[in-house]
Structure 1
Amino acid sequence: MADHCDRFAETLLESDDSTLRLALCGRLVACLSLLRPTLNGPIPPHLIESLTVDTLPASNPCFEPSSELFCDYSLTLAQLLTGRALLPKMEQTLTGLLCKLVWYFAAELKATPPTA
């Protein structure tokens, strides 16, 4: 399911077709909705071997957008939330995401020495 989410998100980002983007968002919602209840469950036996490694990878996936992109993400979420057009549960979730983004963004800005 995660592979499907990955492909839908990648295609969504690359597409300029609004109809395709809407369809991809719908598919992404469906996949994420199916994936969500399984996140804390046991790994199915048929997947254990494919998810097991002898050595750890050299690096872990990380989220490192530029400071401008971090600011854009935060600004867009804040603008979306000020529109008050969301369901209460969506608003609560996006508010949490906005806070986490802003806290991370602020910490990154404070930790980065200015460049000349």
Structure 2
Amino acid sequence: MLSAEHRLRHRDDFTVALRTGSRAGTRRLVLHWAATDRAHPTRVGFVVSKAVGGSVVRHRTQRRLRHLAVARLAVLPAEGGLLVVRALPAAGDATSAELAGDLDRGLRRLGLVDRG
């Protein structure tokens, strides 16, 4: 489970990440990263719109993404970052392994994870 201190909740934080941050996209996901000067742990938020599917599909997709993000918190910068993971319509039909690959690819493109 993503702890409360690592959850991105406020609209203003989402706006900062989406409008001013760097962006990297894959077929199923778009990742937005904004490094901030505020002293807080790196926080992660998710955007899964109705275009992904019905309620069950959207919630399943978000749960999968949240689980994958928890596993990758250790490789992200420890402080001052906002990461928004936006699911595209193809994410609704994707397996967890496919979403994991897309998430890793996006993190590498943003320069947050080594290419190795």
Q: TM-score, normalised by structure 1?
A: 0.27
The structure, 1 or 2, with the larger RCO (C-alpha pairs under 8 Å, 6+ apart) is 2
Higher helix share: 1
Larger Rg: 1
Higher strand share: 2
